Structure 1
Amino acid sequence: MATSSSASFLGSDFDIDEPPPSYESSIGADFFQGTTRITDDGRVDVDPESRFFKTLSKFVPDLKAQSQDPKPESSAHPTVHASPSVPKYAERKSRPGQLNIVIQVVGSRGDIQPFVALGCELQKDGHRVRLATHNTFQKWVLDSGLEFYPIGGDPSELMAYMVKNPGLIPSMASLRAGEIQKKRKMVAQMLDGCWQSCLAPDPQTGTPFVANAIIANPPSFAHIHCAQALGVPLHLMFTMPWSSTRAFPHPLANMKRKTDNQGTANFVSFSIVEWMTWQGLGDIINDWRNSIDLEPVPLTEGPNLAETLKIPFTYCWSPSLISKPFDWPEYIDVCGFIFREPPQYTPPKELRDFLEKGPPPIYIGFGSIVIDNPDEATQLLIDTTKAMGVRALISRGWSGLGNTGYTHDHIMYLDDCPHEWLFQHVSAVVHHGGAGTTACGLRYGCPTTIIPFFGDQPFWGDMVAATGVGPKPIPYESLTRSNLAEALKFCLREEVATAARCIAMNMSREDGLQQAVNSFYANLPVNNLFCDLLNDRPAVWEYRRKGRRYKFSGVAAELLVRHAQIDRRALKLHVPNEIIIENRRWDPVTGTLSAAISTFSGMAQSSAGIFVNPIRIQRARSNLELQSKKEDFGVPKPELLEDLKDFKDANASGTDVTSLESRQPGPSHGTKPPERGNAAGSMAIASASGVGGFFKHYTKGFFVDIPVAFAEGSRAVPRLYGDEVADYGTVKDWKSGLVVSGKNLTLGLGEGMADLVVKPYEGGKQNGVAGGLAGVGKGLLSFATKTSSAAVGIAAYPALGIYKSIRSTVRSRTRNTITERRFEEAGFFAMKGDSFDAIAGKVFDTFQALMSGEQRA
């Protein structure tokens, strides 16, 4: 649930409590100018003729490299198919060993419900599954038999916010109402909650837990970063298109005009919406990444990170409605809707009597949507159904429809009734277009009218209309008695009912839940994921001996340590799925300029902090002192302590404000105001943190960031005219820095000199004299850029390696925490007796065989 953070991007001022805008935010205003416009419903108007659109269009993959399909190039909407496509993994029967899987989900009950079903199915296969979501859903998740971890965030507040800001980007009304900062804090809380869900003990039982794999929906936003910190596999699942395709535009994008190349326009619309979302979340995510010892994600990488890293993705909609787009790669699947097991339900007598009184009624409900004026909406529904002479079941939902207490013969209000049972007894359904509700209605052959509010709801409304099982969606703000009546008449036609039954028949042949599980298994890096001693247990440690590397599970390593077979200190964390986020440069000019501006921006912010930080801490102290004067007993207001904590976390030097936090009033002695001596010391430390930040940005910028940006940008120039650029590896530490520097020097210079001859020859062979002349230009450019890259890279890459080695040594808190939690988990299960002893023999025998060089049995 993205919110916007950038004061400069939004065109508003910031006060001293807010940090100056980042470079990433600052460039957004100019770069997006004329490109996008946020409409009143929160969607994004996209102009294919804008500068930014044309820039992104250059990076659309070549269509020739993918399977050809003429339809998507001229189609602005998903194609509807009559039968599902069978994924290549459908026949996969193997199941990996026992994994700790955390499922991170942000959203409403409808968003979470498919993941509850998924978790239960994975649990049947022997995995330990934890569902991490909002506190509100704790009882529901626990009652389903899954472990639960609270990540914070109030889904009802999020839903209310999203009604006003449908496209993830805040409206000006929300800005004026001051809602943004509150939502930003909620997002920050959920990011931290998602991280804790990966390695915190079970809140109910205290049983240790460290994730071996992560499944998440994209709006949880922490997924890639948690997976990177832990080094574990990640699989994204969602009900809304989140991957770029030529087949249809992003569901939140409004194309301002048609183009000759509509497929490319559709593809770029995904990038633009992602860029807009990153504008609102980038600084929050990077601040949080810093707290778990990860480097910030560059502006150019943040928006399309999942696609760049080729994260496996499963879309949970029926291929009977929308088949997998032709340009999605193999690691993206369309599995079908995921349904839970229909709950056991006995209807109350009132509901049973209402259904038996007359013809099947129409169901109307908006689920988790929070409507501003529910009484007005209720009256509209009552008047419309009465005028048409139809009966209706109206779900109260989170908005409380029908709470006025008025009764009508043709209306019955429902509080909580499972759709799986109810939709078998109605003639049509009218709802907000949540993916789960839409799927359930289609599953039981219900003609459907969708009244969308935000997010993917308009998308599902379009899909329903395209299949002929319902009218075009009616946005809630446009809903009237007249257009609702027309929609209901459409749904009650016999041909529409027949179309709905056909869709239901096709969906009955699909098993979305099992296909989603298969997709998850098929994309696991099984070759690097499991233990060499116990092949059904995930490997969490590496043990190196005589140049060989062995992978041990926590249990196996604990057994070997306890029986003095290995030294605990020789164990290193195993990374089964390494995620490296690189700052790719397009050319030396923009790459170097970006690094320079970022460096100077950081220096300027740190310089401002020399004066601003003491003022902020003094303001926080003054607020706390004022509060202490007003209250003789109790504790300071939570928001004051939160401000102090935010300030402390924001300063790399760790400004000491704990003395302020500890001065909480007690019931026996009242409140003791902060001492002025401590205040002066805290302010001095706060100011010094700005000085330290200035020199940190200066040193890193001029000795690492700017030289590396120039070297990488120069080396990347051939990509601009379609040539491949050799991969010399990734700089991870000082050793790899020297390796990359050496390759860039020797191979780069050799390639540059060779291009002086090869490029003119290739160009002349293909296009004659003109091609030869163009080849001469390419050869000269290649020689110049690769020579420049080699010259600067001699020092730049080793400097980057040294920086990363030092950073890894200094910022080891997260790595140490993971190590401790891994040991705690293994030690806990070592106390379980019989099950632990039963595998000891296999562990020792296999270990001895490995050590003696024998083949594993």
Structure 2
Amino acid sequence: MAAKSSEQAQSSASSILKEVDFAWDEPPPYELHSSGTILASSSALKVDGTLDIDFASSAPEELDKSLPSYPTATAEPAPVPLRPCPLLNIVIQVVGSRGDVQPFIALGTALHRYGHRVRLATHDVFADFVRRAGLGFYPIGGDPEELMSYMVRNPGLLPSLDSLRGGDIPRKRHMIHEMLQGCWDACISPDPVSQGPFIANAIIANPPSFAHVHCGQALGIPVHMMFTMPWTATRAFPHPLANVKAQSVSKSTANYLSYGIVDLMTWQGLGDVINGWRVKDLKLDPVPASMGPDIVSTLEIPYTYCWSPTLVAKPQDWGSNIDVCGFFMREEPVYTPPEDLASFLRAGQVPVYVGFGSIVLEDARKMTEVIMQACKSAQVRVIISRGWSKLGGNDANTNDIFYLGDCPHEWLFRQVSAVVHHGGAGTTACGLYNARPTVIVPFFGDNGAGPMPIPHKNLNSQNLASAIEFCLTPQAQQAARAIADQMHREHGVDTAVQSFHRHLGIPEIACDVLPQYAADWVCRSKRSKGLIKLSHAALKVLVAEKELKISDVTPYRPKEYYTDVKRWDPLTASASSTLGIMTDFTSALGGTLIDPYKEYKKVRTNGNDGGSASLAAAGAVGKGFASMGTGLTRGTLVDMPLALTEGLRNAPKVYGDDVKDHGKVTDWKSGGTVAVKNFGTGFYEAITDIVTKPYAGAKEEGTLGFVKGIGKGSMNMVMKPGSAMFGLLAYPAQGIYESMKDHKKKPVRYKVEAGKLASFERYSLSRPDMSTSQIVATFESI
């Protein structure tokens, strides 16, 4: 089924290219049911918006074995000193509240201190917050207040019934599309204030930004994910947004599977928006349906989680591309409290703090009354942060209650005895770092340390008072101090910078002539005919010395991400290709019948006359027929032969044989090269395998191995020549198709090249680390 979905999604490119006009108002299904002996599952939304997932299995042992194995335990090698990372243009893409943005300001500050140029791309309302920290800012749109309000009403990030009736779906999908485009613009657009050119060399992102991998694929640059909550499948705990139930399925297996279900249902709601944006704005093919939900893990994008390993250790089944580094603590800002706050703190016992930050509550007055009654019952004074919900309204301060506006938590939490909040990572970290016991009132999946969390829907004055009283006990204070002592030994931000550098692949991103600079250009070596990576600094000298002209270089792409469909055997490959062609043709045929009416109605709605509407309808008919022809032509000349070729080529993997990689087909030249290599290798190995396979099998397993070898050799005599023959048509056709696609990408490449040229022209090498003669000599020696 995965292969069919993949082909169906990929072959629908022409449909999406034809009409990128999303069904904004149509709610996605947001439910999933599957049945089978090994695994049966169902997931659906409850009325309150939470996601319930049920798993059942008649063969739980087989199900356990089907999960990826734990990483092999090996002795830790001696640490190898990293080469210094070249200085980069880094975009940090963050979607969320102020609490989501603040940890990345701490990270951005550390990266800037290292020497990188850092641009934080997030919502417009955080512009001053980011710029005050000395970082570059780029607005991506989206309303974080509306986003937080949506998430409170829909704790699983998926829409409740009330949200469906209230029109949240089209607003959310429009907002996501706006933010996707904003994240892309942040990678390639000049600074909004100085108009200085900027082209990203690397991307750091949190998962809800959604644009990360796609921007990285369009630019050919490394991507690194960072987040405050677990978003990578693990057996250790379930997805933070899922309520999991399991019958005859181990808890660890159910935990692991919950991540895939949440990813899949999220993709149900946003996949068409993301793919439409990829096609229209990035000029990339749609992501296949089998890859879309889990694209970050499939492409093995490195992850750094910014929570304290003291609180939650790295799970055993997370690989070496995943790090847990500690909370991102920013340096305490200089702050002088206003006199009314200072007077309140001096006037009595140490207060507790209650605040829900960027959360938008449905009934702020009721929440205020609950807080006031709880604090009265617990006999404590309280500082209430008004936040986005304006807790307290216009109420005045009293001797026991102080309503607070904006105030840095780093200073404030040292003035209170305990903190009550929504469980945001930054607030949790700051409270625990300052040894303050914490009461968590989670709103949509945040988790923290302290007494048992109280979901906001269950919060009342009694249970809140009990939680506050517990926080003031000596054992709670002592436990908080122990955690704080451990956290003070961690350096989360610095560890995260090291993690980012370690996963970059420094040799791939560094200039070959001046390795302390990032490579932005590539040219062909006159001496070795290989490729030479060049920075702006090196190119500036080489152009001045007439060693190179600007026309000799092209923008460098240090990291490629491939989202091609994987075909494992000829039967399923051919079937999925056929299904894809039929789906593409049917979609185009449906468009030919329906789109003319939609175009006619749209034009008439805009106030135009019937003649203009008829012309628009006729144009839609022409597009429909063109789309049918394109789909059939590509399907018969490219998809079908390629699916059969790749299926036959990869078939030996099914019985444990290695398959040679002949390289990627990127244009018509490489298509011909791969076809020749596949033809020669296929026939040669088909002839020799009938002898070498039985011999190798006999040496390894005796008579049984000899018999197995005969079977493998016999199968290869069919599979490999078949792939060789079909490949003579398939790979050149694929190469021509890739060249045509490459032509469509030119608008994106022109933007990138223009940005790099503008950066090059403004670049000033005032104090080169090498003399001009050394730079030239190094270049000529490569």
TM-score by length of 2: 0.88
Query: What is residue 10 of structure 1 aligned with on the other side?
Result: none
Deviates more, 1:168-177 or 1:102-111: 168-177
Residues 498-513 of structure 1 mapped to structure 2, 5 A cutoff:
498-513=478-493
The residue aligned with 2:390 is 400
1:697 maps onto 2:631 in alignment: yes
Q: Is the partner of 2:361 in helix, strand or coil?
A: coil
Q: CA deviation at 1:707?
A: 2.9
Per-residue displacement from partner, 1:605-635 (whole Å, max 9, x unpaired)?
222322433333333333332xxxxxxxxxx
Equivalent AA in structure 1 for residue 130 of structure 2: V
Moved more, 358-367 or 445-454: 358-367
User: For 2:322 and 2:200, how far apart are their aligned partners in 1?
Assistant: 23
Larger displacement relative to structure 2 (712-721 or 100-109): 712-721
The one-letter amino acid of 1:736's match is S
Q: Which residue of 1 aligns with 2:369?
A: 379
Q: Higher mean Cα deviation, 743-752 or 440-449?
A: 743-752
User: Which letter maps to 1:239?
Assistant: T
Distance in 2 separating the partners of 1:820 and 1:693: 33
Q: Gaps (5+ residues) in structure 2? A: 1-18
TM alignment of 1:338-487, pairs within 5 A: 338-403=328-393, 405=395, 409-455=399-445, 457=446, 460-461=447-448, 464=449, 470-487=450-467
Matched with 1:61 is 68
Alignment CA distance shift 1:718-1:742 (3 Å):
same
Q: Count matched residues.
A: 754
Amino acid at match of 1:502: A
Contact persistence 1:47–1:53 (CA under 8 A): no
Aligned position for 1:795: 729
Q: CA 1:40/1:523 → structure 2, altered by over 3 Å: closer, same or farther? A: same
| Mapping of residues 82-93 of structure 1, within 5 Å | none
Equivalent residue in structure 2 for 1:329, among 306, 311, 319: 319
Does the C-alpha gap of structure 1 residues 354 and 775 become closer, same or farther in structure 2, counting only changes over 3 Å? farther
User: CA shift at 1:773, angstroms?
Assistant: 7.4
Q: Taking structure 1 as reference, are residues 794 and 328 closer, same or farther at Cα in structure 2, changes over 3 Å only?
A: same
Contact 2:672 2:731 in 1 (8 A): yes
Give the equivalent residue in structure 2 for 1:46.
53
2:476 match? 496
In the alignment, the residues of structure 2 paired with residue 493 and residue 840 of structure 1 have an alpha-carbon distance, to the nearest angstrom, of: 60
Written as runs of structure 1 = structure 2, the 5 A alignment for 1:556-635 is 556-561=538-543, 564-625=546-607
Aligned CA distance change for structure 1 residues 88 and 818 (closer, same or farther; 3 Å): farther
What amino acid maps onto 1:449 in structure 2?
Answer: V
Change (3 A) 1:703 1:93: closer
For residue 819 of structure 1, the aligned residue among 753, 766, 771 is: 753
Partner of 1:836: helix, strand, or coil?
Answer: coil
**Structure 1 residue 256: Cα displacement:** 1.0
User: For the residues of structure 1 that align with 2:650 and 2:50, how far apart are their CA atoms?
Assistant: 35
Residues 158 and 700 of structure 1: CA distance in aligned 2, closer, same or farther (over 3 Å): same
Deviation of the 1:779 alpha carbon: 6.4
Tell me the distance in 2 between the aligned counterparts of 1:20 and 1:400: 35
Shift of 1:808: 0.9
What's the secondary structure of 2:56's corresponding residue? coil
Deviation at 1:805, TM superposition (A): 1.6
Residues 225-234 or 325-334, more deviating: 325-334
Q: Give 1:383 shift.
A: 1.7
Q: CA deviation at 1:285?
A: 1.3
CA distance in 2, matches of 1:722, 1:270: 30
Question: Which of residues 484, 492, 501 is equivalent to 1:521?
Answer: 501
What is the deviation of 1:20? 8.0
Aligned to 1:273: 262
Q: 1:427 to 1:499 in 2, by over 3 A?
A: same
Match of 1:665 in 2: none
Matched, 1:147 2:136: yes
Does 1:37 find its partner at 2:26? no
Question: What are the equivalent positions in structure 2 for 1:91-240 lying under 5 Å apart?
Answer: 95-240=84-229
Q: Deviations over 1:174-233 (max 9, x none)?
A: 222221111111111111111111111111011111111111112111111111111112
CA shift for structure 1 position 365? 1.1
Cα distance in structure 2, aligned partners of 1:624 and 1:54: 61
C-alpha distance 263-765 of structure 1, shift in aligned 2 (>3 A):
farther
Q: Percent identity?
A: 45
Work out the CA distance in 2 between the residues paired with 1:801 and 1:171. 46
Q: CA deviation at 1:514?
A: 0.8
> Which amino acid is the alignment partner of residue 267 of structure 2?
W
Letter in 2 for 1:615: Y
Rate the CA distance shift 1:29–1:257 in 2: closer, same or farther, 3 A: closer
- Residue aligning to 1:654: none
Cα distance in 2, alignment partners of residues 172 and 591 from structure 1 = 40
Check if 1:842 corresponds to 2:776: no
The structural deviation recorded for 1:50 is: 6.2
Instruction: Name the SS of the counterpart of 1:821 in structure 2.
Output: helix
CA distance in 2, matches of 1:57, 1:715: 30
Instruction: Give the Cα separation in 2 of the matches to 1:50 and 1:280.
Output: 27
Bigger relative contact order (CA 8 A; separation at least 6): 2
- Cα deviation, residue 545, structure 1: 3.8
Amino acid in the other structure paired with 1:491? C
Partner Cα distance (2:401, 2:306) in 1:
34
Q: Work out the CA distance in 1 between the residues paired with 2:615 and 2:228.
A: 53
2:771 partner SS: helix
Distance 1:471 1:304, change over 3 A: same
Name the structure 1 match of 2:7. Answer: none
> 1:293 is matched with which residue: 283, 289, 294?
283
Distance 2:157 2:388 in 1: 21
Partner of 1:734: 668
Instruction: Indicate conservation of the 8 Å contact 1:35/1:50, yes or no.
Output: no
Task: Report the CA distance between 1:265 and its aligned residue.
Answer: 3.5
Contact 2:386/2:403 (8 A) holds in 1: yes
> 1:344 Cα shift?
1.4
Tell me, in whole angstroms, the C-alpha distance in 2 between the residues paired with 1:152 and 1:53: 46
2:15 — aligned with what?
none
Partner of 1:72: none
> 1:749-800 deviations in whole A, cap 9, x for unaligned?
5656777677778888888988887777766666655555444333222221
- Give distance in 2, aligned partners of 1:754 and 1:260: 47
- Asked if the contact 1:163/1:369 (under 8 Å) is kept, the reply is yes
Measure the CA separation in 1 of the matches of 2:571 and 2:743: 33
Question: Residue 439 of structure 2 contacts residue 451 of structure 2 at CA under 8 Å; is this kept in 1?
Answer: yes
CA RMSD in angstroms, aligned pairs only: 3.4
Shift in CA distance, 247/819, structure 1 to aligned 2, threshold 3 Å:
same
SS of residue matched to 1:215: strand
- Match of 2:12? none
1:688 aligns with 622
Letter of the aligned partner of 1:168 in structure 2? Answer: L
Q: 3-state SS of the aligned residue for 2:226? A: strand
Q: Relative to structure 1, is the Cα distance of residues 548 and 753 closer, same or farther in structure 2, using a 3 angstrom cutoff?
A: closer
Residue type of the partner of 1:503?
A: I
Distance 1:676 1:424 in 2: 71
The alignment partner of 1:35 has SS state of strand
- Work out whether residues 717 and 785 of structure 1, in 8 Å CA contact, stay in contact via their aligned partners in 2: yes
Shift of 1:348: 2.3
Assess if the C-alpha contact under 8 Å between 1:533 and 1:843 holds in 2: no
CA distance in 2: counterparts of 1:52 and 1:154, whole angstroms: 47
Task: Call closer, same or farther: CA 1:394–1:111 in 2, change over 3 Å.
Answer: same
How far, CA to CA, are the matches of 2:292 and 2:465 in structure 1? 45
Show the counterpart of 1:13. none
Q: Quick check: 1:31–1:52 contact (8 Å CA) kept in 2?
A: no
Whether 1:554 aligns to 2:536 is yes
Any idea what the Cα deviations from partners look like across 1:265-314, whole Å, max 9, x if unmatched?
33332222222222222111111111211111111112222222222221
